[in-house]
Structure 1
Amino acid sequence: MDEKKVAVIGGGLVGPLCACFLARRGHEVHLYEFRGDIRQAEHVRGRSINLALSARGRAALRQIGLEDKIVEHHAIPMGGRMIHRLDGSQYRIPYDPKNGQCIYSVSRRYLNEVLLTAAESYPNVKLHFDHKLVAADLSKGAMTFRIPDEKSEVCANADLIIGADGAFSSVRRHMMKRPLFNFSQTYIEHGYLELCIPAREDGEFAMHPNHLHIWPRGTFMLIALPNQTRSWTVTLFMPFAQFAALKTPGDVLQFFGQHFPDVIPLIGPQRLGADFFATQPSPLVSIKCNPYHVGGTALIIGDAAHAMVPFYGQGMNAGFEDCLLLDSLMEQHHSNFPLVLEQFSTTRAPDAEAICDLAMYNYIEMRDLVNKRSFLLRKKLDSFLSWMFPETWVPLYSSVTFSDMPYHRCVQNKDWQDNVIHRCVAMAVAAAGVGITVGAMAWF
């Protein structure tokens, strides 16, 4: 195999991971990030400070020898959802009643730093910070970067450009100028705002740490994920119109008192009022596009290819799985870039669209359906059938979160399960009807 020069755009999570996989194959890798080195920054602006790591993400980390460092020494296991009712009572919905599998709360910054350091440890990887992509000829592998501090531009070339630069990808923007590129984005009417439940005075967690805590309230919800500092990252998901209606700290306290009364003493009334207005609610976008490649010279992965709303906790995991798939195709086709990239687009697009749709659906489940008896009954039925037929009946959440089943097959499997249940119910109703009819005829 000939060593080739690869430019990876984006130094968040997926970019450094992708650089590690490529470096292991002997390619010369240049990782470009428009921000400075996060490892040297005191404060980092960006999205949520913690993430949910599950099987697909763990598999990618395992391949480059980082799973133990993340999972065993940093991540906090969450074995299920802890649902908070309006009256303050709680009940638990386990993620995997049969095997007890967990998802893991991990710090975005810690994971980012570990991945950057891992990428930098390869002698054939070079990191370029403060490099903003401003122009590119993707078919020729040509790039122009602006360096803000130096107020200058630099040009670079590569055999392959990989865009791992997030939902608002510069690489994808250049792809959109090309014919036959399909793109759609959907903003939902809900935004999110992050708050914090601090550790207790004794330094311990204020709530049971091994759960994803959810306060479902129909059209909006609050969630909390545990941090290594014994604090909690609390996120309020709510329509922008409702955010706009809360104009003062008093409005916020009244709102929380009405909908999340048990949260006020955990955050503290003064801190709640101050933190709520410290930042603006952020939007949530879902992005679909195809193809993901340009010939054999450019590819987009992660959020650049398939940004999704965060309600299935699969954004990072799907991006990491992209790296696994790309590495597998590189192995299969001996780094034949045109063949690898074309097959990546063909293989990944159905799965990416499926998980984007599932993420949208799961918001309805988390904020509303978890309160409904029919939902809880279905969960129990899925658990029972999974216990009875472990090779046949895999619940949707388990297939998405705890397996490597392609996302589109997870959806097909769920549709099949729904059809089976509906037919069984229809047969039971019909049988009951026949029984009633026969019983009635016995009276005549």
Structure 2
Amino acid sequence: MPETDRKEAVTVVGAGLVGSLLAMYLARRGYSVEVLERRPDMRREVIDAGRSINLAISTRGLHALRQVGLEAEALKHAIPMRGRMIHSAKGELTYQPYGKDDSQHINSLSRAWLNKFLMTEAEKTGRVRIRFKQRVSHADFETGALTVHDEATGQTRHEEGRVLFGTDGSGSAVRQEMDKVPGFQATQEQLGHGYKELTIPAGPGGTFQMEKHALHIWPRGSYMLIALPNEDGSFTCTLFLPWKGPVSFESLDSPARLEAFFEEQFPDAKKMIPDLVDAFFSRPTGSMVTVKCAPWRVGGRTVVLGDAAHAIVPFFGQGMNCGFEDCVVLDGLLGQHGRWEDVFADFERLRKTNADAIADMAVENFIEMRDSTGNPRFLLEKAVEKVLLNAFPGEFVSRYTMVSFSRVPYRLAYEVGAIAGGIVSELTDGLARAEDVNLERAGQLIRGRLVPFMKEHADGFRTEG
């Protein structure tokens, strides 16, 4: 089939992570790309801090970068996180590996660094022009025409009809315009928790004050603190609390209450955050939302992707990875179809069910991280899971492994994970130590329940990891 017309100029709204990467993919296929970004150029102006959660880039995101030759450079700035380090209220540490061995790890990466890097690399193609302080106020989906307000000059202009890609995040202006189209539906589910970013600075000589190669978690039931390592030896910490309630952002309304709370719940972290009070009260409190919408497209003129189509909460570390995978899938379809309408229809068909699946898994993982990671039964099940991963390679797989260390479709990972989780739970009943798990019984359960399902959906497992 002929490809869509490469001479056509296209518009990408949003120069965040997904928009910048998408611009590169489109440029690589020969399109002239205009990117409209509402914020200032973060490479030249300081953007308000305190609203970014560090990235955990894994197999899906790295694969997307590899396709445009950027994986190696990104990994130079990444820190492998091989497991979770759980901190009890008494300061006791428990380590939970992510995979069957250290080769299976996720990577901590600076959101700001990656965004700047992708914008610069997109511009280097010679086919991408990024315009900053540009706010899209209206879109005509019949003609593709845009009304754009230049916040630097105060002027408003109308741009001629183009194919439009909305990559402008969870509060997408493009999606809000699509909401006016008959039949369009969108839901935004606000999490009852907010988040506050804090920092554990580097120790003397740029040393790490905690284990460098771990994602640190202080699970406390209805709330938690996490920390991810940075290149300079510091850790970016994120405190997740309910908005309201006995222990909440609302209740921590004075320096004394904040310090008493940290001293009781996170004493080891408190010792490493010298500016706790100033940082807490000066930095904004972020909100988290799950966005689902349908359809993702309007004819052959407009499509939304990334957070604009499917914003998810950050607790599986897959928001950016999922958005980057959108770019890979869309790019593949550009080589197969001659009409934008066919590209967009196939894109939504392939991606929406998977985006919905990872959105649901992200909420479930939040509950796991804050409630279960310190639970003895949970720790035993994770240990049993690791035994099975090593004892039955190719036959037993875990949900986390498939989501983070493969490119198996999210929907399939969700379903397989449910079967695998049931097997682990059954084998853990009455068990005192993971090494005592009945491998004969395990083999029967795996080959009776899991293997047949995987064979039935074998095509999905052929996706390269």
TM-score, normalising length: structure 2: 0.88
Asked if structure 2 preserves the Cα contact closer than 8 Å seen for 1:223 and 1:234, the reply is yes
- Counterpart of 1:140 in structure 2 is 143
Deviation at 1:379, TM superposition (A): 1.3
Matches within 5 A, 1:290-309: 290-309=294-313
Q: Could you report, residue by residue, the CA deviation over 1:13-63 in whole angstroms, capped at 9, with x for unpaired residues?
A: 100100000011111111111112111113444631521111100000000
The answer to whether residue 265 in structure 2 is matched with residue 262 in structure 1 is no
Partner of 1:442: none
Structure 1 residue 138, shift from structure 2 partner: 2.0
Give the equivalent residue in structure 2 for 1:8: 12
- What is residue 440 of structure 2 aligned with on the other side? none
Deviations 1:355-397 (A, max 9, x none): 0000100011101111112212221222222222221211110
CA contact (8 A) 2:80 2:214 kept: yes
What amino acid maps onto 1:373 in structure 2? P
Inter-partner Cα distance in structure 1 for 2:421 and 2:311: 28
- What's the counterpart of residue 251 of structure 2? 245
Candidates 221, 238, 262, aligned match of 1:218: 221
SS, match of residue 282 in structure 2 = coil
What secondary structure sits across from 2:23 in the alignment?
helix
Instruction: Supply the AA of the counterpart residue of 2:39.
Output: R
In structure 2, C-alpha distance between the alignment counterparts of 1:52 and 1:386, rounded to whole Å: 23
Distance 1:422 1:258, change over 3 A: closer
- 1:41 alignment partner, SS class: coil
Q: Match for 1:263: what amino acid?
A: A
* Residue-by-residue CA offset, 1:105-157 (whole Å, 9 max, x unaligned): 11111101110011101122211111110111123211111012211012213
Conservation of the 8 A alpha-carbon contact between 1:226 and 1:233: yes
- How many angstroms apart in 2 are the aligned matches of 1:362 and 1:322? 22
- 2:120 matched to 1:114? no
Structure 1 segment 208-357 matched on structure 2, within 5 A: 208-241=211-244, 242-268=248-274, 271-334=275-338, 336-357=339-360
- Corresponding letter in the other structure for 1:211: A
Corresponding residue for residue 412 of structure 2: 409
CA contact 2:24–2:121 (8 Å) conserved in 1: yes
Q: Is the 8 A contact 1:289 1:305 kept in 2?
A: yes
The letter for the 1-side match of 2:54 is N
Quick check: 98-107 or 403-412, which moved more? 98-107
Equivalences for 1:30-45 in 2 at 5 Å?
30-45=34-49
Aligned-partner Cα distance in 2 for 1:116–1:46: 21
Distance 2:14 2:408 in 1: 27
CA distance in 1, matches of 2:53, 2:427: 45
Long gaps (5+) in structure 1? 429-444
Report if aligned partners of 1:138, 1:161 keep a CA contact under 8 Å in 2.
no
Q: In the alignment, does 2:108 pair up with 1:105?
A: yes
Mapped contact 1:197–1:232 kept (Cα < 8 A): yes
Rounded to whole Å, the distance in 2 between the matches of 1:286 and 1:67 is: 28
SS of alignment partner, residue 43 of structure 2: helix
SS across alignment from 1:310: coil
Residue matched to 2:195:
192
Q: Which whole-Å CA distance do the structure 2 matches of 1:391 and 1:148 have between them?
A: 55
* Residues matched between the structures, number: 424
2:238 aligned counterpart, secondary structure: strand
Deviation at 1:181?
A: 1.2
In structure 2, how many angstroms separate the alpha carbons of the residues matched to 1:391 and 1:139?
A: 50
User: Are 1:38 and 1:44, in contact at CA under 8 Å, matched by a contact in 2?
Assistant: no
1:94 alignment partner, one of 94, 97, 109: 97
Match of 1:435 in 2: none
Give the Cα separation in 2 of the matches to 1:70 and 1:332.
29
Paired residue secondary structure (1:351): helix
Corresponding residue for residue 437 of structure 1: none
8 A contact 1:32–1:131 mirrored in 2: yes
Structure 2 CA distance for aligned equivalents of residues 369 and 407 of structure 1: 22
| CA spacing shift, 1:421–1:261, aligned 2, 3 Å | closer
8 Å CA contact retained: 1:49, 1:109? no
Out of 60, 64, 88, the residue aligned to residue 60 of structure 1 is: 64
* 1:392 aligned to which of 387, 392, 395: 395
Once the 2 structures are TM-superposed, how far is the Cα of residue 215 of structure 1 from its aligned partner?
0.4
Deviation of 1:158 after TM superposition, in Å, equals 4.2
1:217 and 1:424 map into 2 onto residues whose CA distance is 27
> In structure 2, how many angstroms separate the alpha carbons of the residues matched to 1:217 and 1:166?
30
CA contact (8 A) 2:145 2:159 kept: yes
Q: Does the alignment pair 1:75 with 2:78?
A: yes
Q: Distance in 1 between matches of 2:395 and 2:286?
A: 41
Query: Structure 1 CA distance, aligned partners of 2:37 and 2:381?
Result: 45
User: What RMSD over aligned residues (CA atoms) do the two structures have, in Å?
Assistant: 1.8
SS of the residue corresponding to residue 218 of structure 1 reads coil
Q: Deviations over 1:159-194 (max 9, x none)?
A: 310000000000000111111112111111111011
Larger Rg: 1
SS in 2 for 1:371: coil
Partner of 1:436 in structure 2? none
Question: Secondary structure of 1:183's partner?
Answer: strand
Give the whole-Å Cα distance in 1 for the aligned partners of 2:52 and 2:314: 10
What SS does the corresponding residue of 1:69 show, helix, strand or coil?
helix
**3-state DSSP of counterpart to 1:88:** coil
TM-score for both structures, normalised by structure 1 = 0.92
What amino acid maps onto 1:309 in structure 2?
V
CA distance in 2 between counterparts of 1:189 and 1:38 reads 30
